[in-house]
Structure 1
Amino acid sequence: MTDKHRRNCTLLALFLLLIEAAVLCLPVFHGYTALQICRQYWQHGQMLSHIVIPLLLLVCPIISICLLFHLKVHSTDKIPEVLFASVSANASENVSNCGTLLFLTGSLEGKSFPLPAYTNVFLGRSSQYCQIVINSSDISRRHASVCYHASRHTFVITDYSANGTYTVDGERLIPNTSIEVPDGSIFSIGNRKTSFRLSANREDNT
């Protein structure tokens, strides 16, 4: 979904929600609001045909809210194409400017991946969203991101998942909140059967 399409859908949903809220609160049905008519139906057992339109007006706001929620969820999955371009451009960068992510357990155990400096590298189940793909049902499509800060030899990690990202002590990271961690930090993800260590390259130290 493009930014223009998402923006248009959001404006449409908000516009419909505004109209529906006004109709629900105004006495447009012979001096009654849609809410009052529906309440009278349930209390007095009036004919179904009398509440079809008011009932629809009650359902429409729910649809609009669901649409807005859908747009919000999918907007968090959107990763700029420039991200992948920058990772590709840094592939030949001097190794001293890269950190390393080494899998300790899980399906990728023993495999290591370079972390170009100051570049968000995403881990997850989807190759569409992530540079490091982990094929496991407990891993979210875009589970977490890691960014290596070469000047301080630290890492910034952010969790986006449903099943969580955990420190070596078992503490779950707060979703959608970035934290800076030191060289050598170990994390587990999902059902905690997959773990990895973040290592800084200190060859450039004097």
Structure 2
Amino acid sequence: MINGVSGPGEGAAVADEEAPATTVTPARPRGLALGVLAGAMILVVLIDVLTKYLVVAKLTDHAPVKVLGGFFYLDLTRNSGAAFSLGTGHTWVFPLVTLVVLGFIGWLARRLRSVPWAIALGLVLGGALGNLGDRLFRAPGFLEGHVVDFVSLFGPNGEHWPIFNLADASLCCGVVLAVLLEVFGRRRDGGHGRDTGQRGEH
């Protein structure tokens, strides 16, 4: 500035000095989160298919098997309802509900960059797909197949808790984890705090 007159570019330089510094948080890699989601889903499906295969092969027409001193029993049953034997008699509805869940998870995955959220969604997706396979390919027929359940807590025959399978357990754990992440403000894009809907897509 000469005699009170700003020289070329001096005003912009002063403004830049007075402006607060901003930092740009690098976006978390979306590919990593999607890979974790896919890995969790595949692992759940593989374990679910393997355990159901072994249970059907070994426990058909077999008495319940006590495990860990009766903490749970391996007790083969066929379930025409949803998880924990809910909604029996409406088997054909559940594959349609599963397709809606799959579409919703696909929509959520568009902005997915959080590994914890990827694990939660992968558990839900794997559990849903595991039971969908039973609905599609097991007796009595397509879309009406009965799900193989075999875990009976604290006693045989579902005396204390409805008999379930590992796909049911995975789905429930995924839902609980998703609720906890939401409660503690963990966003699907990897940030913290409530989603105000003002952030753009990365």
> What TM-score, normalized to structure 1?
0.27
> What TM-score, normalized to structure 2?
0.28
Higher RCO, 1 vs 2 (CA within 8 Å, ≥6 residues apart): 2
Which protein has the bigger helix share? 2
